């Protein structure tokens, strides 16, 4: 008996999927556990194996098309089996609903009253006009007081002579008036646009962030961090571990992870009837991809070294761009970091990434004058902003956390003493 293979829900946020590739065609025999298709979700492209076996009788979603979760992806059954009734059963409720809706609209519609319409007056034109009128926006310079050359130039340049002041005899428009004219021209640019279908990833980003912004009361805390010591420490570490390298982002992740252990009330999430305080520290690191944003998770980040954190983030970034991230690599974050410093951004605020209670927005390092020991000297300053869900985190708790974070980056030796490099 024919069975329907439905569009699977491959992630907790997936509402629809796009068929990136079919590995079987209609008429092929399918074994249970055999690769059937590749499905692009809101976060990655994943292989989908069949849980049924039989002959592929019908493909419900062609390559490149999208369909909601639980819709017909394919139908498997015995060779030559009639599936029309099965398809009819799936589509009938929708068709009946549309039919009923149309019947109601027809029943409610009132007959149109016939209203006499007066015929417009007939305008006789000469045979030379081809019975047509010039467009409303066309330029007519006939009858203008202008020299033949001026008229010709005006037509070539799209200039309406009624806007040109003549400087010739008796106000006649001459060539120099056209050359000097800088007024209104009938030539206008053409408006255009491109409509692009919203990808599943972009839909989920829009939905989740809109829900967060309008349901979670945000407040923001910004501090300026002197990165002079961090710069020197990074230089020394990279010299010691060459050819490997660590980035400032690795310092940021490590400092945030250690600070979360110091202030666990920030490492929390809102669940309606209760607040969850996490004992483990899983840092979500925002990675930009073509379709939007992915947030792979560095698990137990407080227990990892700077080099381990750096290598893990690099691997995640490559997999994210290739759409090869797996669900276990993007789920379970307890805190999120978004770093736009590498894009030349000084500072910004980010929207809390549910279910986290906070997100840290990191700007770039800027050379600015600072006061040190009573003197104005050049300094390397990085601004960070902590966005907090006020249902979970209060101002005092958020302030304590972000100042702890600042202290670790301004005194990186404290970081290096905590499972270090």
Q: What's the confidence (pLDDT) of residue 126?
A: 42
Q: What angle do CA 128, 129, 132 make, to 5 degrees?
A: 155
For residues 229 and 232, give the distance between their C-alpha atoms in angstroms, rounded to a whole number.
5
Residue 137 inside a domain? The answer is: no
Q: In DSSP terms, which residues pair with 192 in a beta bridge? A: none
Residue 105 inside a domain? The answer is: no
CATH number at residue 79: 2.40.50.100
Residue 119 inside a domain? The answer is: no
Q: Point out the domain boundary residue: 67, 96, 125.
A: 96
Query: Is the confidence at residue 173, as pLDDT, over 70?
Result: yes
Q: Is the peptide bond before 355 cis (omega within 30 degrees of 0)?
A: yes
CATH number at residue 251: 3.30.559.10
Q: What's the confidence (pLDDT) of residue 188?
A: 57
Q: Which helix (H) or strand (E) holds 84?
A: helix 84-108
- What average pLDDT does the segment 66-87 reach? 86
Find out whether 146 and 174 touch, Cβ atoms under 8 Å. yes
Residue 132 inside a domain? The answer is: no
Find out whether 405 and 384 touch, Cβ atoms under 8 Å. yes
Find out whether 353 and 218 touch, Cβ atoms under 8 Å. no
Q: In DSSP terms, which residues pair with 55 in a beta bridge? A: 29, 77
HSE on the CB side for 45, CA within 13 Å? 15
For residues 367 and 293, give the distance between their C-alpha atoms in angstroms, rounded to a whole number.
29
For residues 238 and 7, give the distance between their C-alpha atoms in angstroms, rounded to a whole number.
48
Q: Are residues 163 and 269 in the same domain?
A: no
Q: What's the confidence (pLDDT) of residue 409?
A: 97
HSE on the CB side for 401, CA within 13 Å? 31
Least confident of 202-206, 242-246, 272-276, 370-374: 202-206
The DSSP symbol for 281 reads: -
Q: In DSSP terms, which residues pair with 377 in a beta bridge? A: 370
CATH number at residue 178: 4.10.320.10
Q: Write out pLDDT tens, residues 89-100.
A: 776 655 554 555
Residue 111 inside a domain? The answer is: no
Q: Are residues 299 and 346 in the same domain?
A: yes
Q: Which of 23, 218, 280, 390 is catalytic?
A: 390
Q: What's the confidence (pLDDT) of residue 250?
A: 96
- What average pLDDT does the segment 11-37 reach? 87
Query: Is the confidence at residue 227, as pLDDT, over 90?
Result: yes
- What average pLDDT does the segment 349-367 reach? 95
Q: Are residues 173 and 210 in the same domain?
A: no
Q: Write out pLDDT tens, residues 95-143.
A: 554 555 555 555 555 554 554 545 455 444 444 444 333 443 445 566 6
For residues 278 and 301, give the distance between their C-alpha atoms in angstroms, rounded to a whole number.
13
Strands (E), 151-252: 218-226
Domain count, the chain: 3
Query: Is the confidence at residue 255, as pLDDT, over 70?
Result: yes
- What average pLDDT does the segment 246-266 reach? 96
Q: Are residues 159 and 308 in the same domain?
A: no
Q: What's the confidence (pLDDT) of residue 280?
A: 97
Q: Write out pLDDT tens, residues 50-66.
A: 888 888 889 989 998 88
For residues 24 and 277, give the distance between their C-alpha atoms in angstroms, rounded to a whole number.
47
For residues 150 and 136, give the distance between their C-alpha atoms in angstroms, rounded to a whole number.
23
Residue 110 inside a domain? The answer is: no
Residue 404 inside a domain? The answer is: yes
The pTM (predicted TM-score) of the whole model is 0.64
Among 7-16, 96-105, 144-153, 292-301, which range has the highest average pLDDT?
A: 292-301
For residues 333 and 317, give the distance between their C-alpha atoms in angstroms, rounded to a whole number.
16
The residue ranking higher by pLDDT, 31 or 400, is 400
Give me the helices (H) in 282-388, please. 306-321, 327-330
Specify whether 282 is catalytic: no
Q: Which helix (H) or strand (E) holds 179?
A: helix 175-180
Q: What's the confidence (pLDDT) of residue 160?
A: 87
Q: What's the confidence (pLDDT) of residue 136?
A: 38
Six-digit token pair at 51? 């849980």
Size of the chain in residues: 421
Find out whether 360 and 385 touch, Cβ atoms under 8 Å. yes
Q: Are residues 178 and 212 in the same domain?
A: no
The residue ranking higher by pLDDT, 247 or 168, is 247
Q: Residue 178's domain spans which residues? A: 143-185
Q: Are residues 285 and 372 in the same domain?
A: yes
Q: Point out the domain boundary residue: 153, 185, 217.
A: 185
| Gap between the terminal Cα atoms of the chain | 61
**Phi first, then psi: what are they for 387, rounded to 5°?**
-95, 130
Q: CA gyration radius for the chain?
A: 34
- What average pLDDT does the segment 289-318 reach? 92
Find out whether 383 and 361 touch, Cβ atoms under 8 Å. no
The DSSP symbol for 83 reads: -
């Amino acid at each position: 008996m024919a069975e329907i293979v439905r569009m699977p829900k491959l992630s907790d946020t997936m509402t629809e999927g796009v068929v990136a590739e079919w590995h079987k065609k209609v008429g092929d025999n399918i074994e249970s556990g055999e690769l059937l298709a590749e499905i692009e979700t809101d976060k990655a492209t994943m292989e989908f194996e069949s849980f049924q076996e039989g002959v592929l009788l019908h493909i419900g979603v062609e390559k490149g098309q999208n369909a909601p979760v639980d819709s017909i992806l394919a139908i498997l059954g015995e060779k030559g089996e009639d599936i029309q009734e099965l398809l009819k059963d799936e589509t009938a409720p929708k068709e009946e609903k549309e039919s009923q809706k149309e019947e109601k609209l027809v029943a409610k519609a009132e007959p149109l009253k016939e209203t006499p319409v007066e015929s417009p007056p007939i305008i006789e034109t000469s045979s030379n006009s081809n019975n047509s009128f010039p467009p409303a926006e066309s330029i007519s310079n006939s009858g203008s007081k202008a020299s033949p050359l001026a008229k010709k130039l005006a037509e070539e340049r799209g200039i309406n002579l009624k806007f040109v002041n003549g400087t010739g005899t008796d106000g006649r428009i001459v060539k120099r008036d056209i050359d000097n004219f800088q007024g209104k021209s009938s030539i206008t640019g053409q408006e255009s646009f491109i409509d692009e279908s919203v990808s599943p990833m972009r839909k989920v980003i829009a939905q989740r962030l809109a829900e967060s912004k309008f349901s979670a009361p945000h407040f923001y805390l910004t501090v300026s961090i002197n990165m002079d010591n961090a710069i020197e420490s990074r230089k020394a570490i990279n010299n010691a571990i060459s050819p490997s390298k660590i980035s400032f982002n690795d310092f940021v992740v490590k400092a945030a992870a250690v600070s979360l252990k110091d202030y666990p009330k920030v490492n929390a999430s809102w669940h309606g009837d209760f607040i969850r305080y996490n004992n483990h520290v899983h840092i979500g690191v925002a990675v930009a991809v073509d379709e939007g944003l992915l947030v792979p998770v560095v698990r137990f980040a407080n227990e990892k070294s700077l080099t381990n954190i750096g290598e893990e983030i690099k691997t995640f970034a490559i997999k994210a761009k290739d759409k090869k991230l797996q669900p276990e690599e993007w789920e379970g974050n307890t805190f999120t970091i978004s770093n736009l410093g590498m894009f030349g951004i000084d500072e910004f605020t980010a929207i809390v990434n549910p279910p986290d209670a906070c997100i840290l927005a990191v700007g770039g390092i800027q050379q600015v004058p600072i006061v040190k020991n009573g003197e104005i000297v050049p300094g390397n300053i990085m601004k960070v902003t902590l966005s907090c869900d006020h249902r979970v985190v209060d101002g005092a708790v958020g302030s304590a956390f972000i100042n702890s974070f600042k202290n670790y980056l301004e005194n990186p030796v404290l970081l290096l003493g905590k499972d270090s490099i």
